[in-house]
Amino acid sequence: MAAQLNIVLGMSIISVLLMLEVEAQAGSFSVLKYGAKADGKTDMSKAFLDAFKAACASRSAAKVLIPKGSFLLSGAQLEGPCKGPIEFLVEGTVMAPPDIKAFKEPLWISFKKITNFKMSGGGIFDGKGAQAYKREGCVKNDYCKHLPINLRFDFLTNAMIQDITSKDAKQFHVNVLGCKNITFDKLTITAPKESPNTDGIHIGRSTGVKVLNTKIGTGDDCVSFGDGSENVLIKGVTCGPGHGISIGSLGLYQKEDPVKGITISGCTLTNTKNGVRIKTWPNSYPGIASDMHFEDITVRNVDYPIIVDQKYCPWNRCNLKAESKVKLSNISFKNIRGTATQEEAIKIICSATYPCQNVELGNIDIKLAGKGTAKSVCTNVKPKLTGKQSPPVCTGSSKASDASDKASGGSGKASGKSGKASSSKKKSS
């Protein structure tokens, strides 16, 4: 009798354990279960979408799993809202089709209108961009207009993307639009130095964005900001190769939303075209960008470490005699040190119509790599200088001071007018 009781008890325990295991796995939706194959050849688009739909319908926390292995994905548009929190655990390598003609719109994978979103797992999104970098046939065909962004995050709320790699995107690696409270931590973003328009992370019309402890090496801006970017922190980012960390370009489109509250801190830029930069178009539409702060930045062999460029004109098709109408104010560059490869290490070129207001530079120590001496060039700005200034900043007489004083009534303060600003469409570098 005791033996029978022990057997029954043992079986009950096993049943409970099995039930608990099934329950634990109930919230996990592997793409393999929905028909995906880790052979690098079979398109898993349907399997990925089906796994997402099942996870999205779960009222409890759910997880979409892409296990280790190589998966071909022609494209995926994953849209909420979902009934509960959702996580994408990406352990494998997800590969795009190499042929640029396979894409009819500028996206590969998009996540849209999801709240409480997480992505992690150490996996790789490989955009297979080599063919796109050649730009062959672009003059006679329109498919170059539709080069896909690797990862789009549109209208997400409370999101965390962590420990993910984006490789060889055909266009931007990551695009953030209309998001609230989204964090990127420990990402790796990589593409060849010569790859055009492959911004690492582009942010537009979003608030509460953080990019932390991330390594970016690409052919364009490591991090870039379009209009409507507010309360953004970029901290602990290493950048290079690339075009630096850039706010803008701004003013190209009508009714752009204001840019406000950008902090770039503790970043290192190596062998980049620019360091930290603000850029607006001449002859632009009205706009506003304010409260932009760059601090504790290390530059190593950077062409132009500090730039404010309100004559930004990459294609030389602008009316450079016309001034930018984007108002820049409350800008600081502090504790920036390292080496420049070009003599004009600091360029602060502001608008004569709306001179830059409340600009501060403190503890700048930038030397020219090789022979010669670094210098600064300033127009239409009268900055506050604190601490060390090497090279000397804005010391020469220029129309800058006069224009700045006139715009602020001689006080150096920003004018009280504010305008409506800009769109997140982009880009040239």
The reply to whether 220 belongs to the active site is: yes
* Catalytic-role residue among 243, 257, 303, 309: 243
Long-range CB contacts (within 8 A, 24+) of 137-143: 143/100, 143/101, 143/103
Give yes or no for a contact between 245 and 222, defined as CB atoms under 8 angstroms apart.
yes
Rg (Cα) of the chain, in Å, rounded? 25
* Catalytic-role residue among 126, 220, 221, 303: 220
Question: Of 169, 93, 95, 165, which is closest to residue 131 (Cα–Cα)?
Answer: 169
The reply to whether 146 belongs to the active site is: no
The distance in angstroms from the start CA to the end CA of the chain is: 82
Please name the amino acid found at residue 186.
Answer: K
CA distance 117 to 79: 12
CA distance 147 to 367: 39
CA distance 84 to 375: 56
The pair of structure tokens assigned to 89 is 């655990």
CA distance 47 to 34: 5
| Residue 254 phi, psi (nearest 5) | -75, 150
CA distance 56 to 272: 41
CA distance 329 to 265: 19
The pair of structure tokens assigned to 239 is 């950048």
Give yes or no for a contact between 118 and 163, defined as CB atoms under 8 angstroms apart.
no
Catalytic residue numbers?
Answer: 220, 243
